[in-house]
Structure 1
Amino acid sequence: MTALPSVVDPVRIASRRIVRALGFMGGPFAGTDLSPSAVHALIEIEACEGLTANDLGARLRLEKSSVSRMLRKLVLSGDVTETAEETDGRRKRLSLSAAGRERVAAIHDFARSQIVDALARLQPGQDRIVLDGLRLYAAALSDGVTGRPSGSSHIDIASGYRTGLIARITQMHALYYARTSGFGRRFESVVAGGLAAFCDRLENPVNAIWVAMRAGEIVGSVAIDGEDMAQGPGPGIAHLRWFIVDDSVRGGGVGRRLIASALAFADDAGFAETHLWTFAGLTAARHLYEANGFDCVEERRGAQWGKEVLEQRFVRKRP
């Protein structure tokens, strides 16, 4: 579709107003003394712990020298830590320090307050118009920069089994947690075995699985298992399992859409509670769980994944 000339300049004007209002032109940004690129770097590292400087540069579309200078400052300030890979000491994995996690939490709080304040000035229903418009515009801009054909970044949430689902979801889990948590063969085997057994039970109406689809490829997943905790904590317990999004779409709202689909199913099915098991250190995922009404109710040391971690159980009561 060719844009109307009467639309182009107003979009440019609105874009400049957004850039200025958010502080990209200088001065304090996101309530910090950091540059916009440094703030975005911290957010990306939080969302994908263990990425490299090259990964970060690709995500932020910055030159290698700019990323190096920025990371040097963030390491010196104590916000970011670098860990050399065992197989190649020249490659370093990036993580947030405790101070860095506190700083990012403050950045999120500041940004959310900006958005809440702005949306409060709109008429009822206009907030959804803003959300949908920004998503479409951001996707179109991204497609133009990356050279993808228009619409290629569109992601659908679909339910039910499809060919290759078990292998693809297992692959996403194995790659992500090998990089971020050091999990290996044992973890991959547990994921694959549990997911295969669950798919054999999908005919039961209390069980369901959703996948995020982009151009025919699975880029995210989540499931509700209504059976495996029936004899555990008690009846009426839904188990949220196999939540994962591919690195290429992390931070773009796909995870929120998957969780929303799963929780809507659990509520409609009448489950009194929804439980999930995870482990400490997955900060971005924990923010998402808590934003959807989950509370951490139990912590214990465990090694079922092949490496000892602090396992956590989160519970959400049906509204």
Structure 2
Amino acid sequence: MIDPSVVEQVRSASRTMVRELGFMRTTLAGTRYSPSAVHTLLELGEHGALTSAQLVQELGLEKSSVSRMVAKLIQSGELEESRGEEDGRTKQLSLTEQGKRTLEEIHAYGQMQVSSALVPLTQQEQQTIAQGLNAYAQALKTYRQETVETAAAKIQIASGYRPGLIGRMAEMHASFYSRHSGFGQFFESQVAAGVAEFAGRLNNTRNAIWVAESAGRIVGSLAIDGEDLGNDEAHLRWFILDDGCRGGGIGRHLLTEALDFCDRQNFSAIQLWTFKGLEAARRLYESLGFELTHEEQGNQWGTAVTEQQFTRKR
């Protein structure tokens, strides 16, 4: 049982710390960078090198937010990308020489800020603060990790049509690709029309659709169209996940269901079309046997993008 008054004391102290440490401002630690960017530099300083996916886990942020932030830090000269030693397809992020100097300035600022605050306190009080804050921080981190794991465990994979499927799939695609590629109404309309047409062909045993559901809400989708390409090839379509569901294995689960279905149907190959820059999805495709077979510039969706075709042969 937790004393409510203790909870309120901790909350009040947390609010004060957020304000006094500068987290209410747009920049942090005497830099020109946001709090999330500063913490990115701190994490890379501690670990040496991390992938964007690992940063997502460490920072507890959405992948799209981390991708934008990392791009800005690379452009500013603070970070650099390199190929992973074990897997050349994986990009490792690390600090440049400029980034290391910026990190030194961040540490100096933080040490000055904390030391100045602790000076009036006794050594015993200083130790009490250090131990208490560390225990509280670890408790918060454990709670967040358990919450993410619990949410992922509650997501169910199901197949077939259900009410709201067409609209929800169009919504997820429109939301993600408006941020990633600048697509607008035309793209959303095309997705909605395509899913609606496909839903009318689900009685064909060569066609199938799967959704990921959380508390009755669709949070992911993927379809196999066994008719539109011909040549005994399957078309993998409309693979999408809500931001909060990425990184927890749900996408791999959906893809595995689809690939098992294609294997049972004995398709000669599976084709999918996507856009350049979706590196996490590309790594997932390639880990399951897909290979990049074609790439070209296109603007059929209203914005110029590089379209990519991936193929998985039987």
| TM-score normalized with structure 2 length | 0.60
C-alpha deviation, 1:77, in angstroms: 4.4
- Tell me the residue number matched to 1:34: 45
- Tell me the residue number matched to 1:252: 248
Bigger CA radius of gyration: 2
Q: Say if 2:292 and 2:311, in contact at 8 Å, map to a contact too.
A: yes
Runs (5+) with no aligned partner, structure 1: 1-31, 57-69, 80-98, 112-140
Amino acid at match of 1:39: L
- Tell me the residue number matched to 1:315: 311
Q: 1:298 to 1:261 in 2, by over 3 A?
A: same
C-alpha deviation, 1:50, in angstroms: 4.0
Q: 1:147 to 1:269 in 2, by over 3 A?
A: closer
Give CA-to-partner distance per residue, 1:57-97, whole Å, 9 cap, x none: xxxxxxxxxxxxx9997665443xxxxxxxxxxxxxxxxxx
CA RMSD of aligned residues (A): 3.6
- Tell me the residue number matched to 2:16: none
The answer as to 2:237 corresponding to 1:226 is no
The answer as to 2:62 corresponding to 1:51 is no
Q: 1:305 to 1:45 in 2, by over 3 A?
A: farther
The number of residues matched between the two structures is 219
- Tell me the residue number matched to 1:17: none
- Tell me the residue number matched to 1:194: 194
C-alpha deviation, 1:300, in angstroms: 1.8
Aligned to 2:45, the other structure's residue is in SS state: coil
- Tell me the residue number matched to 1:242: 238
Q: Say if 1:143 and 1:150, in contact at 8 Å, map to a contact too.
A: no
Greater Cα offset, 299-308 or 181-190: 299-308
Amino acid at match of 2:185: R
2:259 to 257, 263, 281: 263
Give CA-to-partner distance per residue, 1:107-151, whole Å, 9 cap, x none: 87799xxxxxxxxxxxxxxxxxxxxxxxxxxxxx98944896995
1:289 to 272, 285, 288: 285
Runs (5+) with no aligned partner, structure 2: 1-42, 91-139
C-alpha deviation, 1:179, in angstroms: 0.6
Q: Say if 2:53 and 2:247, in contact at 8 Å, map to a contact too.
A: no
Q: 1:160 to 1:143 in 2, by over 3 A?
A: farther
Alignment of 1:11-90 (within 5 A): 34-36=45-47, 39=50, 43-44=54-55, 50-51=64-65, 76-79=76-79
Q: 1:294 to 1:147 in 2, by over 3 A?
A: closer
- Tell me the residue number matched to 2:268: 272
Amino acid at match of 2:65: L
Q: 1:33 to 1:147 in 2, by over 3 A?
A: closer
Give CA-to-partner distance per residue, 1:13-64, whole Å, 9 cap, x none: xxxxxxxxxxxxxxxxxxx9632498376645699664279x98xxxxxxxx
- Tell me the residue number matched to 2:36: none
